[in-house]
Amino acid sequence: MAQNISVPDIGDFDSVEIIEVLVKVGDQIKKDDPIVTLESDKSSVEVPSPVTGKIIELSVKVGDKVSKGSLLAKVENDSYNADNEKEVNKNNFEIQNKTAEQKNLKQIDEVKVVKKVFAQSSTEDDVDPLETKEWIESLNAVIENDGPVRASYLLNKVVSEAYTAGLVLPDTRTTPYINTIPTELEVKSPGDQNIEKKIRAYIRWNAAAMVVRANKISSELGGHIGTFASAATLYDVGMNHFWRAKNKDFGGDLIYFQGHSAPGMYARAFLEGRLSEKQLNRFRQEVDTGGLSSYPHPWLMPKFWQFPTVSMGLGPIMAIYQARFLKYLINRGLLKDEGRKIWVFLGDGETDEPESLGAISLAAREKLDNLIFVVNCNLQRLDGPVRGNGKIIQELEGSFRGAGWNVIKVIWGSYWDPLLKADKTGLLMKRMNEVVDGEYQAMKAKGGAYVREKFFGKYPELKELVSSMTDNDIWKLNRGGHDPHKVYSAYHAAMQHQGSPTVVIAKTVKGYGMGKSGESINTTHQQKKLDEQDLLYYRDRFSVPLTDEQVKNIEYYKPAEDSEEIKYLKERRKQLGGFIPERSSLATPIKAPPKDIFDSFMKSTGDKEMSTTMALVRMLTSLLRDKNVAPRLVPIIPDEARTFGMEGFFRKIGIYAHEGQKYEPEDSEQLSSYKETKSGQVLEEGITEAGAMSSWIAAATAYTNHDIEMIPVYVFYSMFGFQRIGDFAWAAGDAQARGFLIGATAGRTTLAGEGLQHQDGHSHILASMIPNCVSYDPTFSYEMAVIFREGLRRMHEKNENVFYYITAMNENYPHPEKPEGADEGILKGMYLFKEYKNKGKIKIQLMGSGTILREAIAAAKILSEEYGVDSDIWSVTSFNELRKDGMETERRNLLNPSSKRDKTYIEKCLEKRDGPVIAVTDYVRAFSDQIRPYTEKPFYSLGTDGFGRSDTRKNLRKFFEVDKEHIVAYTLSALAKEQLLGSDSAEKAFKKYNIDKKKAFPTKL
């Protein structure tokens, strides 16, 4: 049966142009295959076929204008049903997922979590303790007889009744200051605790020895002992029992180590035989190869570290988006679901960083049960207590619970268990609740007698409770994070938890075991030197089998290869699939798309105007037709798709939503309807540049973390890019990210109406500081196409560890055809766009980038026609790339004074060309000034230094003095200064263009 295909609802647009016809008569098409591409003045969008069939008639051609309802084509419906095919694929996929899930469940046996209700002590506000006791006894009876589910039901019912009756309800953000998992429900570690204890002691020792040794060489080298000392058990239990490495059968768990606990990871790798003594001796001496980097830096140790985490706060948020991206890859069918987990270690002080907790609600919303945070609460940060007057553990519990996480508190070690059991009054828990962190810290610094007095001494009953214990016994009452049993049990519960992310909040002691040299004292963090006595104490404290002499020489301790410790440690890692951390990539490159995909961008657009943003979006639409590239593209947008004309992607490739779409969108009839789907490709991040950048980093490093090469394209307001998330971009460089950052609405005067906080005139300078960031400020669509294609080739086909920053503009203008042979120059940073050779007497070298190149082109015409000044017009696509070439060439020349001088690329371009350089951009002058030394010509730059403001483009360009009139007048003045022209021409021009010489420099306005 023949069926008409016509233009669906395209929103507010009428009479839009057809820029591509993607089918011809006779083609067999499937439902959703694109028929034509439409382009309004802001965006382009493909019209998909609503049916499967054969095109029997085409009613439109390129250039036609159409509106809603216009006939596009006629299709003969046939029996082929593409939807069936999709369904089958989907089913396969679901089966695959199910088996993975089952496998997971098998791996982890079930434990039911029951919470015992503790009797509370009688307090002044309890007017009838007997009644209270009865209530609690009833509850315990229900738990015992009918189980926890029934007990929870009853409680919820009571609470809901109370709510309707208008009662003040209890604050349920926090639970009592005790371990979340009751002793009777703890899962015991299958490990050999004696051997594990020894291994842990050696790792502790070697980590400290490495730092102390480095500081014997020079105190400049620094390092940290106290942090790892507090976290050793938290890491060791994970390494021995939980963290599965990447190997040919499994993708591997991903572990974000706390940055300054790096010494502990090196110390373990030493025992594993992965690092040599020589390497340990080169801790923080990285200039000559073979040293160990201060912190986790993949750039410096590319086969070891996976995640840069030392800029605090970035690790946690990057990990959250990593966990989400892993689910994205699984839901899109690009990865198998193997039950991989992402573990993130952070300090309690680190949680002060807005980035650390800023995305925890996203983690719960996305049901990231593949994510486990471990917060090491040693109660101290660098200067002193994290929450001296409060309780960081309770505060964090409240935040995480509020956000919807599964919270597991590991506060008290096993030595406390009998005391808690023996305390029938509930006073012990009350005391635990009331002591603040500042006191807890002091207690660990001051010894058993002090604890007896200050902690237990407050209530006679508690003093009595510990009366038979010595001060030493009291001192040994340990904290949960140092108890391998409690930690094991918490990790086990975290591993099997489903439906939400888990945070393990562990209480520890900073500088654990360091004694007076640094245990729980305010200066612990910076302790990097231990004297002989301190070292002897440390050895004794952990029973490290070294002689006094060996301790004095700060020798490392490594048992023989056939010792039970080394055999055990290696066997554990073998069971868990290999070593961690380790960085590798098995990803296969993506073949760059053929040139013809970009062909249409090389041609002139005639009178048709568009912005480079539109050109880019069209390019991405074309790329979605390339079978190699299409599935790997990850468009990332923080709530600005409509700003950039990208809303067409919503329906075309779907917005990723792990729960699909539970509602019919308001605009469901429209072509660019808001379509959320489980297999969606677009990451619509909402208003979070930090989150969007974290997603980008996850995708840009998927080649190593998931062994799949992805092509993330993150499009953002350029002002809210590097300036806002500069530290993430730096971390991306460290992590060797590969992908595109697109700074849209770029330029201080190009984005006109938005004002001071929106107008970017410096992002390129910020981008230029990142060594492996390649950046461009193209003007024309063919430049954008050449740059983008090369980016795909370099990063994703050739696997170069660079990433691209490209600015795109929102100004519409016609685009010329690509000049013959321009490709090389476009990529190197400049090429000759046009030459004026009218009079040939006075010549200038006119350079411009971005939309301001167009002002330069217009100025050149005026200069030539009205003032007889000829110009060579250079489109400078990248001042940043030119400077890199300039610096490198100059250095090479300086190093080789007796050899023939190499020429910089700029010199090669300019060597046979006369006249001063006038460089003009929509950025601060420092941007174009970068190449000043290499032009070897008088150099004048015009730019947009100063705060932006709202106005029309024309007025803004006048204000910042980068419009064609200013370019003409300043050029004439520069020529007068160079004595190539009299000053009268310039004076006349200033007058003619009403240029106010008294106006202050824009930075002062």
Ligand X SMILES: Cc1ncc(C[n+]2csc(CCOP(=O)(O)OP(=O)(O)O)c2C)c(N)n1
Residues engaged in binding ligand X (CB under 6 A): 227, 230, 260, 310-313, 347-350, 376, 378, 380-382, 386, 510, 525
What is the rounded CA–CA span in Å between residue 959 and residue 973? Answer: 18
Taking the mean position of all CA atoms in its chain, how far away is CA 50? 38
Write 136-145 long-range contacts (CB < 8 A, 24+): 140/116, 143/114, 143/116, 143/117
What is the rounded CA–CA span in Å between residue 4 and residue 808? Answer: 38
**349 is a site residue for Mg ion (CB under 5 A):** yes
> Residue 310 binds what, of Mg ion, ligand X, none (CB under 5 to 8 Å, by partner type)?
ligand X
The residue number whose beta carbon is nearest to Mg ion equals 347
The residue number whose beta carbon is nearest to ligand X equals 347
Backbone angles phi, psi at 836, to 5 degrees: -100, 125
Taking the mean position of all CA atoms in its chain, how far away is CA 715? 14
Among 196, 348, 870, 922, binds Mg ion (CB under 5 A): 348
Are the CB atoms for 66 and 92 separated by under 8 Å?
Answer: no
What is the rounded CA–CA span in Å between residue 691 and residue 864? Answer: 50
Identify the CA nearest to 875 among candidates 822, 915, 837. Answer: 822
Q: Which is nearer to ligand X, 7 or 386 (CB)?
A: 386
> Residue 227 binds what, of Mg ion, ligand X, none (CB under 5 to 8 Å, by partner type)?
ligand X
Q: Taking the CA of residue 229 as centre, how many other CA atoms within 13 Å lie in the half-sphere pointing to its CB?
A: 28
Q: Nearest approach, Cβ of 764 to ligand X (angstroms)?
A: 25
What is the rounded CA–CA span in Å between residue 577 and residue 584? Answer: 14
Q: Nearest approach, Cβ of 231 to Mg ion (angstroms)?
A: 9
Q: Nearest approach, Cβ of 86 to Mg ion (angstroms)?
A: 51
Q: Which is nearer to Mg ion, 347 or 481 (CB)?
A: 347
> Residue 158 binds what, of ligand X, Mg ion, none (CB under 5 to 8 Å, by partner type)?
none
Give the strand pairing for 711-717 and 633-637. Answer: parallel
Residue type, 15: S
Q: Nearest approach, Cβ of 785 to ligand X (angstroms)?
A: 39
> Residue 781 binds what, of Mg ion, ligand X, none (CB under 5 to 8 Å, by partner type)?
none
Give the strand pairing for 16-21 and 65-66. Answer: antiparallel
Residue type, 816: P
Backbone angles phi, psi at 870, to 5 degrees: -90, 155
Q: Which is nearer to ligand X, 229 or 634 (CB)?
A: 229
Identify the CA nearest to 435 among candidates 391, 487, 481, 379. Answer: 391
Q: Which is nearer to Mg ion, 385 or 733 (CB)?
A: 385
Question: Is 976 in a helix, a strand, or coil?
Answer: helix
> Residue 311 binds what, of ligand X, Mg ion, none (CB under 5 to 8 Å, by partner type)?
ligand X
CB atoms within 10 A of CB 448: 18
Q: Which two tokens stand for residue 993?
A: 């263009």
> Considering only 301-309, 346-354, 623-631, 935-943, which stretch makes contact with Mg ion by CB under 5 A?
346-354
Q: Nearest approach, Cβ of 239 to ligand X (angstroms)?
A: 18
What is the rounded CA–CA span in Å between residue 375 and residue 391? Answer: 14
Dihedral-angle region of residue 576 (phi above 0 means left; psi in -120 to 50 means alpha; beta otherwise): alpha
Q: Nearest approach, Cβ of 375 to Mg ion (angstroms)?
A: 9
Among 259, 347, 638, 915, binds Mg ion (CB under 5 A): 347
Q: Nearest approach, Cβ of 743 to ligand X (angstroms)?
A: 24
Q: Which is nearer to ligand X, 443 or 906 (CB)?
A: 443
Q: Which is nearer to ligand X, 18 or 392 (CB)?
A: 392
Q: Which is nearer to ligand X, 608 or 724 (CB)?
A: 724
Q: Nearest approach, Cβ of 700 to ligand X (angstroms)?
A: 21
Q: Nearest approach, Cβ of 298 to ligand X (angstroms)?
A: 17
Backbone Cα Rg of the chain:
33
Dihedral-angle region of residue 390 (phi above 0 means left; psi in -120 to 50 means alpha; beta otherwise): beta
Q: How far is CA 374 from CA 231, 233, 396, in A?
A: 10, 12, 11
> Residue 964 binds what, of Mg ion, ligand X, none (CB under 5 to 8 Å, by partner type)?
none
Q: Nearest approach, Cβ of 378 to Mg ion (angstroms)?
A: 4
Are the CB atoms for 427 and 462 separated by under 8 Å?
Answer: yes
> Residue 350 binds what, of ligand X, Mg ion, none (CB under 5 to 8 Å, by partner type)?
ligand X
Are the CB atoms for 243 and 236 separated by under 8 Å?
Answer: no
| Maximum Cα interatomic distance, the chain, rounded to a whole number of Å | 107
Q: Which is nearer to ligand X, 457 or 726 (CB)?
A: 726
> Residue 507 binds what, of Mg ion, ligand X, none (CB under 5 to 8 Å, by partner type)?
none
Find the distance separating the first CA and the last CA of the chain, reported in whole Å. Answer: 70
> Residue 382 binds what, of ligand X, Mg ion, none (CB under 5 to 8 Å, by partner type)?
ligand X
**313 is a site residue for Mg ion (CB under 5 A):** no
> Residue 312 binds what, of Mg ion, ligand X, none (CB under 5 to 8 Å, by partner type)?
ligand X
Residue type, 631: P
Q: Nearest approach, Cβ of 309 to ligand X (angstroms)?
A: 9
> Considering only 38-46, 138-146, 345-353, 729-737, which stretch makes contact with Mg ion by CB under 5 A?
345-353
Q: Which two tokens stand for residue 192?
A: 């050999």
Window 924-953: residues binding Mg ion (CB under 5 A) = none
Q: Which is nearer to Mg ion, 315 or 948 (CB)?
A: 315
DSSP code, position 597: G
Instruction: Find residue 807's DSSP bridge partners.
Output: 743
> Considering only 246-254, 377-385, 516-524, 639-647, which stretch makes contact with Mg ion by CB under 5 A?
377-385
Question: Is 801 in a helix, a strand, or coil?
Answer: coil
Q: Which is nearer to ligand X, 148 or 222 (CB)?
A: 222
Q: How far is CA 692 from CA 636, 676, 713, 714, in A?
A: 7, 17, 11, 7
Instruction: Find residue 250's DSSP bridge partners.
Output: 247
Question: For the packed helices 314-331 and 689-700, what is the interaxial angle rounded to 10 degrees?
Answer: 60
> Considering only 323-331, 337-345, 372-380, 663-671, which stretch makes contact with Mg ion by CB under 5 A?
372-380
Q: Which is nearer to Mg ion, 480 or 638 (CB)?
A: 480
> Residue 524 binds what, of ligand X, Mg ion, none (CB under 5 to 8 Å, by partner type)?
none
Q: Which is nearer to Mg ion, 513 or 680 (CB)?
A: 513
Q: Nearest approach, Cβ of 229 to ligand X (angstroms)?
A: 10
Q: Nearest approach, Cβ of 320 to ligand X (angstroms)?
A: 17
DSSP code, position 567: H
> Residue 493 binds what, of ligand X, Mg ion, none (CB under 5 to 8 Å, by partner type)?
none
Q: Which is nearer to ligand X, 76 or 727 (CB)?
A: 727
> Considering only 58-66, 373-381, 594-602, 937-945, which stretch makes contact with Mg ion by CB under 5 A?
373-381
Q: Which is nearer to ligand X, 313 or 848 (CB)?
A: 313
Q: Which is nearer to ligand X, 232 or 634 (CB)?
A: 232
Window 245-264: residues binding Mg ion (CB under 5 A) = none
Identify the CA nearest to 554 among candidates 119, 214, 188. Answer: 214
Q: Nearest approach, Cβ of 860 to ligand X (angstroms)?
A: 48
What is the rounded CA–CA span in Å between residue 986 and residue 972? Answer: 5
Are the CB atoms for 677 and 671 separated by under 8 Å?
Answer: no
Q: Which is nearer to ligand X, 337 or 350 (CB)?
A: 350
Are the CB atoms for 590 and 628 separated by under 8 Å?
Answer: yes
Q: Nearest approach, Cβ of 401 to ligand X (angstroms)?
A: 21
What is the rounded CA–CA span in Å between residue 569 and residue 230? Answer: 21
Number of helices and strands in the chain (H, E):
38, 28
Q: Which is nearer to ligand X, 261 or 904 (CB)?
A: 261
Q: Nearest approach, Cβ of 283 to ligand X (angstroms)?
A: 17
Q: Nearest approach, Cβ of 348 to Mg ion (angstroms)?
A: 4
Among 378, 612, 807, 810, binds Mg ion (CB under 5 A): 378
> Considering only 379-387, 569-577, 832-840, 994-1002, which stretch makes contact with Mg ion by CB under 5 A?
379-387
Positions touching Mg ion (CB under 5 A) are 347-349, 378, 380
